[in-house]
Amino acid sequence: MTPQSIAGFLVLDKSTGISSMKALARVRVLARDTAKGAKSGHAGTLDPLASGVLVIGIGRPATRLLSRIVGASKRYRTEIDLSGFTPSDDLESDVEPVSIETPPTRDHILSTLSRFEGDIMQSPPAFSAIKVDGKRAYQLARENKLDSLPARPTRVHELSLVDYSWPTITVDIHCGKGFYVRSLARELGGALGTGGYCLSIRRTAVGPFDLQQARTLSALPDSIEESDLIGIEDALSLLECDIDVRGGEPA
């Protein structure tokens, strides 16, 4: 009889400089003996320059739930530089400085942030994985064949200004599926009459899964066992509690 493979969820604290798929590939290597070729996947891509929570499902019972986790709300903390724009809306491309006569006040920033809460339309970054005529948007943008993408609906539950010291602001974000942190930086800068690009992006939670549960790749054992994972029943309980906390509100 073939031994049953492990099944459950690993909450990874992905570092910068590595793609979500490369992080998943590394986890697959560490689980190759215990997962025994079972399916695995992750619940929502993080850009290579972003860090934080990446929920990985190992085994078919877990991967079947990944779409539900992808639909859960997300939390981020980002540092935004208001002194310029970049084509990629982050540090992947060169900064184009913006001349600012008078930096915005904290109150102006707070009032402007409030305009981005609720159900909003947001234009995804040109440097994104969205497909346009069969090609990834970022490929077209790097070839100077794409300047912008049409706006899409998304939901922002809350934006909180954590810190402000010109030209940098730190913002905590609680948002729904399909929200782009880099787009917030660009569109906020446009609304303020300043620049706006992300210096850093850190995802702090995906639904009920947060950094307190997360482990870095370097902290994982050489062979991932069932005890290293959040079990299916425990994950379902966490997801149900998350829905109850949000009052059944869709992400």
Residue 52 token pair: 């934080």
Q: Which of 13, 47, 89, 90 is catalytic?
A: 47
Q: How far is CA 208 from CA 55, 100, 116, 129, 175, in A?
A: 11, 40, 24, 26, 13
For the question of residue 33 being annotated catalytic, the response is no
142 exposure class (CB count in 10 Å sphere: 0-12, 13-18, 19+): middle
Report the catalytic residues.
47
